[in-house]
Structure 1
Amino acid sequence: MTQSTRETERKYEVPASGDAPRLPGLTGSGKGWSLVDGGAHDLDAVYYDTADLRLLRASATLRRREGGPDAGWHLKLPLGEDTREEIRVPLGTHDRGNPHDIPEGLRDLALSRTRGARLEPVVRLRTERTVRELVDADGGLLAELTLDRVRADSLRGDHGHAAWTELEVEAVTEDTAPTVLKRVEKALGKEGFTRSDAPSKAARALSETTPGTVPAAPRPADTASGTAGEHVLAYLTRQARAVVDLDPAVRRGLPDSVHQMRVACRRLRSCLRSYRPLLDREVTEPVRAELKWLGGELGAERDQEVLLARLRGGVDALPGELVLGPVSARLQAWDAARSSEARDRTLAALSSPRYVALLEALDRLTTHPPLRAKAARKPAKVLPRALLKEHDRLAHRVERALRTPAGPERDAAFHEARKGAKRVRYAAEVARPALGGAAKRLAKRVKAVQEALGDHHDSVVARETLRRQAVAAHRVGEPGFTWGLLYGREQAGAAGRERELPQLWRAATRGDARKALRT
């Protein structure tokens, strides 16, 4: 069984005296806060990584630790400045015979960083830990201050050793963490404690036991500052990183994670398409194809989430006397079968060699970008042209949809227009840092069009599902009234969206945003 916690902490170098902090500026008579003894622990941890230290390069760590209140396997993943997620697996029977038997679940959660490379012991840390707790006037725990005397032994064949003392300050509550850490850091500074440069104990241990062995994290290739290529590459890098960062959340089925990863795939695809004049298509088109594949695999689970929420919402909105027959039970059974299949499809995709190859391709794309000559031009000369071209493509799709008679062909045309609206929005996201308000306004107006088209498409999908449920209910003698009522409501809602679209599109094509982009 895995457990997940968030930790927000900072590390500090300890003054030559090696004494624990007293924080006189925060504690004592009339101060409100105080330090109390939190006990002492002897910790013994072995850290695991690939031969080329891929976890450390990604600011992640994996360890097996004995001793202390949370002995077990710990995978730490970065969430932002000072904050990480720690996923724990208690020590159990699976590793008693072989302490290097890493829990399979943690291997999977680390895959987006390791890319399937073998994990092996790299360093052992033995720590004498002294804990002091910072509490408020009511005895509520604010932070833990741990003084760690560390001995490190390299396990990479060089037999290097190192020793140091450091202080960790971990805020207990996320909401108060910034305030607590800021006040503690100010008080520590007066006692000679300074922020540590080491991102983790493992990174420091490897740096000190074998200098020069810890590689720097991969960085995007250098591009000329202030160029169009710089903006495109920055966007691609953010979205590629999002795919990697979201991977563990998707594997654990955390809320909205599948949706966010799918959006990152779409943004990458859109950027590579909209800004093709700046990029070598021979390199980017295969990547776009693989992103489309991954988005499709994730789509089954995400689309089921959206559809179920819509159908349940429709049932819940009906007065009880209009819900005839086992409507909720039928929905639940329908969802159970489809959700399980969609979930299996997601996990199979993330466990496939094809997915690992895509992650490697995204790395190459951002560290060795295939930029063409136009990428070196000023963004004001290049980005508006690409953005307006996407807007013109959208205009063609919307106008075609509005001309198409009602029916399946019109539904399909509306869906194509929706996809075009997303491309405009994502192209505007790329350009916004360079073009400012004009790109922002255009994206905002197009978003309204996209949302109307999206609701229309969701209604088309929902109506087909409702029809099938009505047929299935009829076959076993259940009332079909509620299914028909829901179908009619969806049909009316879609018709309303169709009537709204011309007005929304006129607002999206007002000349000021386009004119500002041209100038």
Structure 2
Amino acid sequence: MEFELAVTAEAAGAVPRLKPLVACRDGRPRSQAIRAIWYDSPDRTLLGQGQTLVETRGAWRLKRLFPGAEIWLPGQPAPVVAEGQDMASLSDLPSPLAPLVAFEGRRGLSVHVLAGGSVTLAVARGTLRAVTAERPAARIRLSGDEAAVREAALMIAAAVPVSLPRETLAAEGIALATGWQPGPRRAGAPELPETARTVDTALAHIMGHLLDALLWHTTRLDQGPEAVHQMRVAVRRARSAVSLFRPAFAEGALDPLRAPLKALNARFGATRDWDVFTGETLPAIRATLPDDERLARLAAAADRRRREHHKALDTWLGSQDFRLLTIELAWLIASDTWRKRAAPGTAEPGDNQGGGHGSDQGRGQGAEPGSEQPETDAELTPFAEAVLQKRWKRLTSSGKEMDDLDIPELHAVRLRAKQTRYAAEMFGALFDGKGPHRFIRRLSILQERLGVLNDGAVAASLLAELGGPGGRFGYAVGVVTGFMAARAEKLRPRIAAAFAKFRRQDPYWS
């Protein structure tokens, strides 16, 4: 396994001298001069294609600059599109090509023997140089046995402020040379590329996509509450993916993914709830009573609580704990620890968003002890069809008498709608036509209307934190509670209509 970490040039110097690494070093460390030059055409053709041409020690490689159609997981080196001994040996390059930016420095190499095996540590430290600017830069690369790579990465992250790279060293250099601002590696709902057509490659791509999205939005907290919302959604999609794919793998194989996702989810929920309450729920109520000072005082108290949560979240996202958590998750996604399949199965776990164990009934059973496990090359489409069918049936049967459901039952329908939508988004690229888009659109409308009801339940818990009906905001709490109850009743016919329209469509996967 190869694994990359981003680090400042100043901090990189301390890495080879860390006592735990020195104690397990095998042989003498080596150092070598390095020089890499990146090329592009004057009109930035390669940049427009998400690629860059790099020359290092006479070897020429066309590499990805940001993810394209191939699978490129967080923490993994940039994919090589083509390589040769000279520029002429690479076809379909734009012309003319000229140097754009260079990296010059030294690479320290050392081998370490850890409990998990052997790992080679490479620390590249130097300067990115363009025509008009330069800046120090560094990268860490670990290669070797999977368990040893993990052990070394966490050992380094516990002592030095390293993190998962949000862009390649090449992208940093091109940004320095041109002023180009790298966008997110990936964002939004995951979409499967053509190269992800087995259950293991699909899950790896989905999880890597969502970790990329999470990391991108940690850099955008100063742009409003949308960043927290998108981080929370990314984590929820990832937890749903683990739940969705779990029956396709050996019993317990995906359990290691659940713990870091659960820890992440716990950090975003309360902050997002206060954002919605102060940014959407309360403004709608105050618009009907604009001069009510008691509502204004409640809103001020709620906003103070919201800012407290944001401050705590900002601090945590900049902490060592967050860096360790995301490094562990990236290693898990890229590793082979969860890829041994049990016999193919299509049963799903229970409704638990976190992917609870549920029942083994209908699940693919593992091989007998000592027997060989099947490879993780099962085709994805049959598995996706079975999962979509089961989630669709579960959702449509749960709301047959929509008008008679109470609020907790409607909340359960909302969760099933969300889980069904996440599955449809993950597998949409497997099916042709407009069916997937229409299905997701109608499901989103239903989920949105059900979500307004959930906002009322969330508001009640937040109001309790502010003292509830018996506290100093008692009057305002009563106004908000009454408003939310009235809105819930008004929404019921619209929820029933959205559900009926969703149920009328034929499943596009069958």
Structure 1 residues 503 and 413, CA gap change in structure 2 (3 angstroms): same
**Are residues 1:62 and 2:58 paired?**
no
Go from structure 1 to structure 2 and tell me whether the alpha carbon gap of 1:396 and 1:282 turns closer, same or farther (over 3 Å shift).
same
Q: Distance in 2 between matches of 1:399 and 1:259?
A: 31
Select which of 492, 503, 507 maps to 1:509: 503
Selected match of 2:247 from 277, 287, 292: 277
1:466–1:484 Cα contact (<8 Å) kept? no
Indicate yes or no: 2:193 matched with 1:193: no
Kindly indicate whether residue 427 of structure 2 is the aligned counterpart of residue 431 of structure 1. Answer: yes
Q: Distance in 2 between matches of 1:318 and 1:267?
A: 36
Alignment of 1:286-365 (within 5 A): 286-318=256-288, 320=290, 323-341=291-309, 343-344=311-312, 347-348=315-316, 351=319, 353=321, 356-357=324-325, 359-365=327-333
Task: Give SS of 2:509's match.
Answer: helix
In the TM superposition, residue 245 of structure 1 has moved relative to its aligned partner by 4.0
Alignment pair present for 1:448 and 2:445: yes
CA distance, structure 1, for counterparts of residue 256 and residue 243 of structure 2: 12
Question: Does residue 386 in structure 1 map to residue 368 in structure 2?
Answer: no
Residues 178-257 of structure 1: pairs in structure 2 closer than 5 A: 193=98, 201=103, 206=107, 213=122, 226-249=197-220, 255-257=225-227
How far is 1:242 from its partner? 2.7
Deviations 1:408-442 (A, max 9, x none): xx222222221111111111122111124433332
Matched, 1:160 2:4: no
**Deviations 1:286-317, CA, capped at 9 Å, x for gaps:** 42244233212211111111111124422552
| Counterpart Cα distance in 1 of 2:458 and 2:318 | 26
Cα 1:191/1:508, change in 2 over 3 Å: closer
- Rounded Cα–Cα distance in structure 1 between residues aligned with 2:401 and 2:334: 37
Equivalent position SS for 1:160 = strand
The answer as to whether partners of 1:279 and 1:372 remain within 8 angstroms in 2 is yes
Distance 1:359 1:460 in 2: 35
**1:419 matches 2:415:** yes
Native 8 Å contact 1:228 1:378 kept in 2? yes
1:391 Cα deviation from its structure 2 partner: 1.7
1:334 and 1:170 mapped to 2: Cα distance? 53
Q: For 1:509, what is the secondary structure of its paired residue?
A: helix
User: Within 1, Cα distance between the matches of 2:458 and 2:388?
Assistant: 30
TM-score (norm 1): 0.55
Unaligned runs of 5+ in 1: 1-51, 65-99, 103-117, 123-155, 172-176, 183-188, 405-409
Shift of 1:463: 5.2
Change in 2 beyond 3 A, CA 1:358/1:194: closer
Instruction: Tell me how many residue pairs correspond in the alignment.
Output: 350
RMSD (Å) for aligned C-alpha atoms = 4.8
Q: What letter corresponds to residue 276 of structure 1 in structure 2? A: R
**Is 1:458 the counterpart of 2:425 in the alignment?**
no
Pairwise CA distance, 1:355: 7.3
Q: 1:70-110: CA deviations, max 9, x gaps?
A: xxxxxxxxxxxxxxxxxxxxxxxxxxxxxx699xxxxxxxx
| Structure 2 residue aligned with 1:36 | none
State the SS of the aligned residue for 1:317: helix
Counterpart code for 2:206: Y
2:190 aligned residue: none
| Superposed CA offset, 1:351-396 (max 9, x none) | 4758735641452233324244535333332211111111222234
Counterpart-to-counterpart distance in 2, 1:467 and 1:215: 49
Q: Do the aligned residues in 2 keep the contact of 1:297 with 1:346 (CA within 8 Å)?
A: no
Equivalent residue letter for 1:292: K
Question: In 2, Cα distance between the equivalents of 1:297 and 1:170?
Answer: 45
Residues 1:281 and 1:485: Cα distance change in structure 2 (over 3 Å): same
Alignment correspondent of 1:5: none
Write the deviation string for residues 264-303 of structure 1: whole angstroms up to 9, x where unpaired.
Answer: 1111111111222322340213422442332122111111
Q: Where does the alignment leave 5 or more consecutive residues of structure 2 unmatched?
A: 19-27, 53-93, 110-119, 123-140, 150-193, 345-375
Identity of aligned residues (%): 19
Residue 263 (structure 1) aligned with residue 233 (structure 2): yes
Quick check: 2:417–2:443 contact (8 Å CA) kept in 1? yes
- Matched AA of 2:107: L
C-alpha deviation, 1:238, in angstroms = 1.1
SS at match of 1:308: helix
Q: Give the greater-gyration-radius structure (CA).
A: 1
**TM-score, structure 2 length as denominator?**
0.56
Asked whether the equivalents of residues 300 and 342 of structure 1 are also in contact (C-alpha less than 8 Å), the reply is: no
Instruction: State the match for 1:142 in structure 2.
Output: none
How far apart are residue 236 of structure 1 and its match? Answer: 2.1
Q: Contact (CA 8 Å) 2:275, 2:306: kept in 1 or not? A: no
Q: Give the equivalent residue in structure 2 for 1:493.
A: 487
Change (3 A) 1:254 1:281: farther
Looking at structure 1, the residues matched to 250 and 304 of structure 2 have their Cα atoms a distance apart, in angstroms, of: 44
**Distance of 2:253 and 2:322 partners within structure 1:** 17
Query: Residue in 2 aligned with 1:398?
Result: 399
Tell me the SS of whatever aligns to 1:161.
Answer: strand
Instruction: Using the TM superposition, give the Cα deviation of residue 224 of structure 1 relative to its aligned residue in structure 2, in angstroms.
Output: 8.3
Deviations 1:118-165 (A, max 9, x none): 75699xxxxxxxxxxxxxxxxxxxxxxxxxxxxxxxxx9635335688
Is the partner of 2:288 in helix, strand or coil?
Answer: coil
**1:238-260 deviations in whole A, cap 9, x for unaligned?**
1133334444545x786422222
CA distance in 2, matches of 1:402, 1:289: 38
Q: Is the 8 A contact 2:257 2:332 kept in 1?
A: no
Is the counterpart of residue 367 in structure 1 residue 335 in structure 2? Answer: yes
Preserved contact between residue 294 and residue 349 of structure 1 (Cα < 8 Å):
no
- Partner Cα distance (1:225, 1:340) in 2: 42
CA distance in 1, matches of 2:39, 2:196: 39
Whole-Å separation in 2 of the counterparts to 1:121 and 1:441: 57
Kindly indicate whether the alpha-carbon contact (under 8 Å) linking 1:446 and 1:508 is maintained by their aligned counterparts in 2. Answer: yes
Q: Secondary structure at the match of 1:201?
A: strand
**Distance in 2, Cα, partners of 1:468 & 1:253:** 27
Deviation at 1:339, TM superposition (A): 3.5
The letter of the residue matching 2:497 is Q
